Amino acid sequence: AQKITQTQPGMFVQEKEAVTLDCTYDTSDPSYGLFWYKQPSSGEMIFLIYQGSYDQQNATEGRYSLNFQKARKSANLVISASQLGDSAMYFCAMREGLNQGGKLIFGQGTELSVKP
């Protein structure tokens, strides 16, 4: 069975600094997709970044990058130059299988607070 673990319930970061949110996963399927979502207090789940299990390079999207270490089964999110608007809940998620829709499961989440 697939499993996602986020071990940091809460994190603080100073504005303009970088922060790393940890995520480890477990699956027996060689094909899978890893996702990071941001959820502000308004409730909307905002897609940030995606990494496929066969992608050779780490995914990047603007200030977001995914540090993918396949052998260690980790997919940490790095946010560079934090902004006050980055304060939110962040979820790591995984789907087994690359080329089909289906069950997307989430980790417990990390609540990030950006200090001015």
Partner 1 sequence: DTEVTQTPKHLVMGMTNKKSLKCEQHMGHRAMYWYKQKAKKPPELMFVYSYEKLSINESVPSRFSPECPNSSLLNLHLHALQPEDSALYLCASSQDWGRDIVYTFGSGTRLTVV
Q: Which amino acid is at 78?
A: V
Which helix H or strand E contains 79, and what residues bound it?
strand 74-79
Instruction: Report the residue number, 94 or 116, with the smaller CB distance to partner 1.
Output: 94
* In the block, residue with structure tokens 């270490």: 69
Stretch that binds partner 1, among 19-27, 63-71, 75-83, 99-107 (CB under 8 A): 99-107
In the three-class reduction of DSSP (H, G, I as helix; E, B as strand; rest coil), residue 94 is classed as: strand
Question: Rounded to the nearest whole angstrom, what is the least distance from the CB of residue 31 to partner 1 in the complex?
Answer: 11
| Footprint of partner 1 (CB under 8 A) | 33, 35, 37, 42-47, 50, 52, 91, 95, 98-109, 111
